[in-house]
Amino acid sequence: MGKWRQHVSKWMMQNLELPADVVMDLPRITMIGQLHIYIENHRGVKAFSNEQLTLKLKQGALVIKGKEFVIKTILPEEILLEGTISSVDFEND
């Protein structure tokens, strides 16, 4: 069932020109150089330290690594992180 729905949304995205983040509940990530990272559509914080922030996603997790992390704002589905970002990784489980 879930797989079928995923297929439909993928088809809709490709053929109806709808934005992927809306249709498929994917995170939308905006970065300003290394200074800021802005993530929408997350599902909560898994772990947070000075050098690493792990965010839950609908599928899998997002691992952001860097230095001197500060969460500037956190709202349901929105997060603004400040610091020196060195990498953004997706983890699929």
Write out the residues near another protein by the rule CB under 8 A: 44-50, 69-76
Nearer to another protein, 15 or 49 (CB): 49
Nearer to another protein, 8 or 45 (CB): 45
The distance of closest approach from Cβ of residue 28 to another protein in the complex, given in angstroms and rounded to an integer, is 18
Nearer to another protein, 23 or 38 (CB): 38
Any residues with CB less than 8 A from the CB of 3 and at least 6 apart, and which? Answer: none
The distance of closest approach from Cβ of residue 86 to another protein in the complex, given in angstroms and rounded to an integer, is 16
Do the beta carbons of residue 77 and residue 41 sit within 8 Å? Answer: yes
Spatial distance between the Cα atoms of 5 and 39, rounded to a whole number of angstroms: 24
Q: Where are the beta strands (DSSP E) in the chain?
A: 28-32, 36-40, 45-48, 52-56, 61-75, 78-91
The distance of closest approach from Cβ of residue 49 to another protein in the complex, given in angstroms and rounded to an integer, is 5
